[in-house]
Structure 1
């Protein structure tokens, strides 16, 4: 999974409660890549209340 913050239509208001901001707290997030196992772990921890969820919203018209 490639997460590109510059392409996220929810950036701004949703960034503060996004797992990307949580995981990259020491630097400005732009693009991160996670494999299937990492994505599953992030989802499980988010559903368990340990991490904020991924708030990425892609503009489907741009694809």
Structure 2
């Protein structure tokens, strides 16, 4: 899973409650998470230790070949 804050449709309004912003401070170049890391973040979020990933991608950008790299859980 690639996360690119620049392509998130709720960037700004969703950042304060997004696990990426909390843990990484909104990385400028995005971040890539594998399935194990995603599962770990889900467990932490379910336990109330970190917020959930608040990503909303524009599927048209992704389908058009742009780097829609941030996916919601």
What TM-score do you get using the length of structure 2 for normalisation?
0.77
Aligned length, in residue pairs: 61
Cα RMSD after superposing both structures: 1.0
Unmatched segments (≥5 aa) in structure 2: 63-73
Pairwise CA distance, 1:61 = 1.7
* Greater percentage in strand: 1
Runs of 4+ in 1 over 4 A off after TM superposition: none
What does the per-residue CA deviation read over 1:10-63, in whole Å, with 9 as the maximum and x for residues that have no partner? 1001101100001113xx423011111010000111011010100111001212
> 5+ residue gaps in structure 1?
none
TM-score where L is the length of structure 1: 0.88
